[in-house]
């Protein structure tokens, strides 16, 4: 390979590493309980995870396309409803006829045609639900995670347990 091509590839790899680190910092700032987690060989480049009483558990993966997957469970329904309605708007999701907190238990969907992102929000029967979001652009994922953080602790000033450093 010509040296100019090798140099260009190395420059791209350095830039991608910087981008990956910035994406990781954005996710951790938006949802402070997230921390680094070993990434299985079959998974994304970066995996962040959390397990916090009262806020559930889950993981965020950052792939090599600059997108994220969010898989959270055990999150209080009211936290999910407030955050998702704030980010998406009222009755934006399929199966939701009004604010999520008034829709009751069930699964609500949205597929973003422009980016290819897929959103599945479940409000559980036992007042705890789950989120599964795939192919979400990093800025959009950080926005959703920040809304969850603020809904979980409206007085939060970046001190939610496990705050990113």
Question: pLDDT tens digit string along 79-122?
Answer: 999 999 999 999 888 888 899 989 989 999 999 999 999 999 99
Mean pLDDT of 125-135: 95
**For residue 76, what pLDDT band results from cuts at 50, 70 and 90?**
very high
Mean pLDDT of 74-78: 97
- The string of pLDDT tens digits covering residues 4-24 is 999 999 999 999 999 999 999
The pTM of the full predicted model, rounded to 2 decimals, is 0.88
Q: What was the pLDDT predicted at 79?
A: 97
**Sheet order of strands, 67-76 included:** 35-37, 46-52, 56-62, 67-76, 128-137, 118-123, 106-111
Contact 34, 60 (CB under 8 A): yes
Contact 91, 103 (CB under 8 A): no
Would the pLDDT of 155 be above 50?
yes
């Amino acid at each position: 390979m010509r040296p100019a091509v090798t140099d260009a590839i190395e420059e791209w790899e350095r830039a991608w590493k910087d981008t990956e680190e910035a994406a990781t910092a954005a996710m951790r700032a938006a949802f402070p309980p997230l921390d680094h987690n070993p990434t299985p060989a079959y998974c994304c480049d970066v995996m962040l995870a959390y397990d916090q009483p009262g806020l559930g558990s889950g993981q965020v993966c950052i792939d090599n396309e600059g997108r994220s997957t969010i898989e959270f469970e055990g999150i209080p329904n009211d936290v999910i409803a407030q955050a998702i309605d704030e980010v998406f708007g009222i009755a934006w999701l399929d199966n939701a006829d009004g604010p999520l907190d008034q829709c009751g238990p069930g699964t609500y969907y949205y597929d973003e045609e422009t980016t290819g992102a897929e959103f599945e929000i479940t409000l559980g029967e036992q007042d705890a639900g789950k989120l599964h979001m795939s192919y979400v652009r990093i800025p959009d994922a950080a926005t959703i995670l920040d809304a969850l953080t603020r809904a979980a602790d409206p007085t939060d000033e970046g001190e939610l347990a496990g705050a990113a450093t």
